[in-house]
Structure formats: structure tokens, C-alpha cells
Amino acid sequence: MLYLTGFADEAAVGIEGQIKATRELGWSNIESRNVDGKNIHDLSDEDFDRVAGKLSDAGVKINCFGSAIANWGKKITDPMDSSLAETRRAIPRMQRLGTKLVRIMSFAVLPDRAPDDQMEEERFRRLRELQAMFTDAGITPVHENCMNYGGMGWTYTLRMLENVPGMKLVFDTGNPVFTADYAKPKPWPRQSAWEFYSHVKEHVVYVHIKDGTWVEATQKQIFTHAGEGNGDVRRILKDLLSRGYEGGISIEPHLAVVFHDANITSSEAVKFSNYVEYGRRVERMIAELKTELA
């Protein structure tokens, strides 16, 4: 059954505020990334116990770990020790919380190498190892099309899927808007979210909702409410609903705070209200689309 969730660390730093924003929306799930400034797999055992207790008391679940495993901060030229350690810490915590999904990536793009010289085989080998660790524990890793190898374009994602059997995807609607399409000739244009989604949708089991526009003159991204940018959010959601999609829809507004850009911050009150408003707008969009499809 389709359900709504989100990166509640964009609503509040602490777990209490994240739970409050989730309950304000009438939701029962959080895609957990950071709590008190640390990824959920990096919290101390004591802090994790406290977070788990707060969630249990509130009746709120963690549907997905928004992990840092193999993400854009990890180089394929470095040992994978940190991602292995994060995986080993994440698994027992996910099992305790009953969390079945974990967001992973495919290591940062090497900026000094051509698109067809990105150490593919080593990436695939590492991803197969991570995939096995999670699946053996009854957990599904989902790869995000972010600032990593698999996010370079839909052809790269498909190549990855061919070489990492069983890998599933979380598709982020906003990331293509800001990402060069290395599947096309130079000068690389920005990606089309709809084109990317259309080629990989059979493998998508989870969705991140983000939207925005790319300003070519300044080479900067501007984040917007869902449906107001170039992320084809409405079109993608309509296609998902028409195909009977029953997974999670996770909001990642980036309006008041951007996880990977410390320069973009807002007061706690603004973050909270923006997150809740974003969630309500996505709810309305889904309701409208269901009516159109009825």
C-alpha cells in the first residue's frame, strides 16, 4: 500500500521535532538520515537507544535508513572500509527497528576521469558485496540517482543493475534537474527526470520527491515545491499511480536546509513549517492525480 514519509531531519535536528513534524502531517514513517547532526548509523549506542525509545513511544517507524554508505562523499579510489563499517552498524539497528529499506549509492564520480573511465568494475564489485550483506540480513538496499556513478545518467544505472544482480532503485525526481547527463555528448546537458525515470522505472521500488530548476547562467540550482520545477514530479507520480505503485513516497524538500550544503540553513520554526507544508502539498497532488485517474 502506498505510504508517505520523508527526510524529517529537514524539519528538525532532534528526534522529538522530527516525530512532531511527522505526526503533524498524520504520517507514521520517517526516512531517517541525521539525528542531532549524525547519521543514524553513526549515533552512539546510547543515543540510538534513546531515539529508538522515542520512536516506539510515539508509534512512529523508520521505513528507510538514509545512509551515507557509498555516497558522494566516498571515493572509489579509497578503501571501502568506511562503507563496510557503516553497513555493519546499520544492519542490527535496522533489524531492531524493523526497517526494510536502506538508501545507498555507488561512490562519487571521479572528476578527473572521463565518463567511460570511472573504475566501473571496482564499483560493481563493492556494490555486490554491500548488496549481499544487506540481503543476507533480510534488508533491501535501494540505489539513489544522486551525485555518484549510477546518477551520471540512465545508461549508467542500467549498466550497474546488469552487474549487481537484484539491486533495486530509489528514484529521486529532483536530482536529474541539477545533474549533467553523461550519457549524452559534450557539452553535457542537464538530465531529464522523465527520460531517466522512463528507462529505469521497472526497477524502482521507492521514490524521493524533490524539485527545482537549474540556472545555466550561474550554474546553480534553485529548489522549489514539488510540481513547480523541472523534475516532472506530477508526470512521474501519475505514471506510478497508473501502474499501481504501492511503495513509499519520501519528501526531501531542500527548501529550508540542504543536507550537503551547510550554507543553506533556516530557523527551526521555518524548517518545521516548510517541511509540513511541503508534505501537505504532495498529499494534495497525489489526491488530485488519483481523481484524474479514477
- φ, ψ for residue 112, nearest 5 deg: -95, 10
User: Could you give phi then psi for residue 31, rounded to 5 degrees?
Assistant: -90, 105
Predicted confidence band at 268 (pLDDT cuts at 50, 70, 90)?
confident
**Cα distances (angstroms) measured from residue 91 to each of 100, 135, 195:** 10, 10, 34
Confidence category of residue 238, pLDDT binned at 50, 70, 90: very high
pLDDT of residue 266: 61
Fill in the DSSP letter of residue 33.
Answer: -
CB 105 within 8 A of CB 143: yes
- Span 17-26, pLDDT tens digits: 999 999 999 9
pTM for the full predicted model:
0.95
pLDDT digit string (tens) for 12-55?
Answer: 999 999 999 999 999 999 999 999 999 999 999 999 999 999 99
76/256: higher pLDDT? 76
User: Whole-number mean pLDDT of the chain?
Assistant: 96
* 19 contacts: CB under 8 Å, gap ≥ 6: 8, 30, 54, 55, 58, 60
Q: Based on C-alpha coordinates, what's the Rg of the chain?
A: 18
Give the domain ranges of the chain: 3-293
Average pLDDT for residues 133-148, to the nearest whole number?
98
Higher-confidence residue: 162 or 263? 162
Per-residue CA distances from 208 to 16, 53, 75 (Å): 23, 27, 24
pLDDT at 267 (0 to 100): 82
pLDDT score of 226 more than 90: yes
Q: Where does the pLDDT of residue 99 fall: very low under 50, low under 70, confident under 90, or very high at 90 and above? A: very high
Q: Is 262 a residue whose pLDDT tops 70?
A: no
Say what percent of the chain tops pLDDT 70: 96
pLDDT range class, residue 255, cuts 50, 70, 90:
confident
Task: Output the pLDDT for position 135.
Answer: 98
Question: Is domain 3-293 in CATH 3.20.20.70, yes or no?
Answer: no
